[in-house]
Structure 1
């Protein structure tokens, strides 16, 4: 049950930060938090990571729904002892839902975390990346017993 609260928490944090950006920044407006290192920049992302497959919104909505439903189904069968795997799925589901909400509501994803050496991203993207990192850790570095 706690995993569903964690998923909801990721979604809420992601959506709240995006609403704050949308209400307080014009498109492409940027605020230097640490000049030339970290900026808050409102960027609409009409594609996937790094803006690839631009304007394929229906494809991303459909793919996101398939992934979210598959991961939720799989999560039900992951033993509670496999905490890293469970957290990996929770992070990925929460992030995917956060970006899915944007795609359905706006037709694009709101990105705003701008480190100037990497494409602009958001809280949902961070959750997905950390989830994938945990999944890789689980698969490659934790041996199966039994």
Structure 2
């Protein structure tokens, strides 16, 4: 639904919200934080359990041969790319985490909040492995344990990143900004905004 020209759309964060505060919309930021921290915790617990129960064990079938548990350690990025650049990947992940946190301050759209929460969980989940697992800080190998046929072994953090990226691409293609306003250089005029979370 399009709001009146020049009037910001109410995101449900209350009439007392001001753009000058640290967070554009505290309730929406709490959604981001809830999604990010919850999925980060799930990822880390799943990795601990995978290492504890799958080390030196044969593959475990969850859904026949379609989905199996197979423990492996990945020094590189997704699909085992860049295995000789573990330190650089850890630094890039650290920068990406800061960028996501910075962007989250401006979020007023629930869709964007969930997308960035997924990105935060995925990036920091794998970053934690690089910082704290063997063979050492910034060189740690990422724990992967989910295996599909003809697909690289992955983990929950990888899933979060992929879903988060897909959600962000949807918003970009729709022309929806972080604050939920419509970005269309040809049709929209300054002050026009839409509610994308109805």
In structure 2, the partner of 1:118 is: 151
Are 2:45 and 1:12 aligned? Answer: no
Q: Which runs of 5+ in 2 are unaligned?
A: 1-29, 134-139, 177-181, 184-191, 193-198
Counterpart CA distance in 1 for 2:142 and 2:56 is 12
What is the CA RMSD across the aligned residues, in angstroms? 1.6
Q: Is the 8 A contact 1:21 1:112 kept in 2?
A: yes
Q: Where does the alignment leave 5 or more consecutive residues of structure 1 unmatched? A: none
Correspondence for 2:77 among 41, 44, 48: 48
Corresponding residue for residue 83 of structure 1: 110
Matched position secondary structure for 2:76: coil
The alignment status of 1:96 with 2:120, answered yes or no, reads no
Q: 1:54 to 1:41 in 2, by over 3 A?
A: same
Which structure has the larger Rg over C-alpha atoms?
Answer: 2
Give the counterpart of 1:127 among 148, 156, 160: 160
Greater helix share, structure number: 1
CA deviation string 1:90-133 (max 9, x = no partner): 10011101101111111111111101221111000000000001
* 1:35 Cα offset (Å): 2.9
- State the shift of 1:136 in Å: 0.6
TM-score normalised by L of structure 1: 0.91
Provide closer, same or farther for how the CA distance between residues 130 and 27 of structure 1 changes in structure 2, counting only shifts above 3 A: farther
Equivalent residue number for residue 58 of structure 1: 87
8 A Cα contact 1:27 1:43, kept in partner: no
Runs (4 or more) in structure 1 with deviation over 4 Å come to: none
| 1:33 corresponds to 2:66 | no
SS at structure 2 position matched to 1:117:
coil
